[in-house]
Amino acid sequence: MAKVHRLVGNNFPDFNLDTSLGQPLRLDDLLGKWSVFFFYPKDDSPGCTVQSCRFRDDYSE
């Protein structure tokens, strides 16, 4: 059986970053909205690329 990461169920840490449009974004900006935080182990790997493209392709749903 897969191990459950020890941070599952904990609050997400606050952050400050720029969006792809160069606008600032903080965790508080997302309160009350559906959000997906997608982490992957390596850029340009076949599996991660397919999964990332599915987020993009299924966004409108």
Cβ-Cβ contacts under 8 Å for 18 (sequence gap 6 or more): 24, 25
Q: Exactly one of 35, 41, 44, 48 is catalytic; name it.
A: 48
Is 53 considered catalytic here? no
Exposure on the CB side of residue 32, measured as CA atoms within 13 A: 2
Q: Catalytic residue positions? A: 48
